[in-house]
Amino acid sequence: MRILPLPYHGTTASVAKAAAIGRGRPRLLHTRDSAYLLKLAQHNPCYFLDEYQHFPEKYRHMPVHISTVHCTFERAGLSVKRLQRMASEKDPIAEGYFINHISQYPADYLVALAKMSKDDRTYARL
């Protein structure tokens, strides 16, 4: 005995919404370019936005507008206040003293602490 398929099998409409592809405005910078700008900000937070603007143009041959740099920093959670704080904490002389002092201990004596689990007000893990 042979079973025949139904004539309308698989032709009914789906009630689920179609997946949104390309929703929103396309980003001008790719993920790698945004990561490049963020690494620059972490490495040397003393630059102004117009100075950050010249790095992608000079080293990646990709001119970007100053507002694009600003929006990239905002999406990453970097504000002017936070960049100023990062710049004030960066002291090469103090960093050299720290490296000189910490180099006397073996590596297995040191313990790494995640930045997200501690802030300036607490001495214990949150």
Q: How many residues does the chain have?
A: 126
pLDDT digit string (tens) for 89-121? 777 788 889 889 999 999 888 887 666 555 566
Alpha helices in 61-91 (DSSP H): 66-75, 80-89
Q: Give the domain ranges of the chain.
A: 31-103
Are the CB atoms for 29 and 72 separated by under 8 Å? yes
Summarize the confidence of residues 42-57 as an average pLDDT: 85
pTM (two decimals)? 0.52
pLDDT digit string (tens) for 55-88? 888 888 888 888 888 888 888 888 878 877 877 7
pLDDT at site 114: 65
Nearest to 112 by CA among 95, 100, 125: 125
User: Which secondary structure element, helix H or strand E, spans residue 102, and what is its range?
Assistant: helix 92-102
pLDDT at site 20: 66
Phi–psi pair at 74, nearest 5 degrees? -65, -40
3-state SS assignment for residue 43: helix
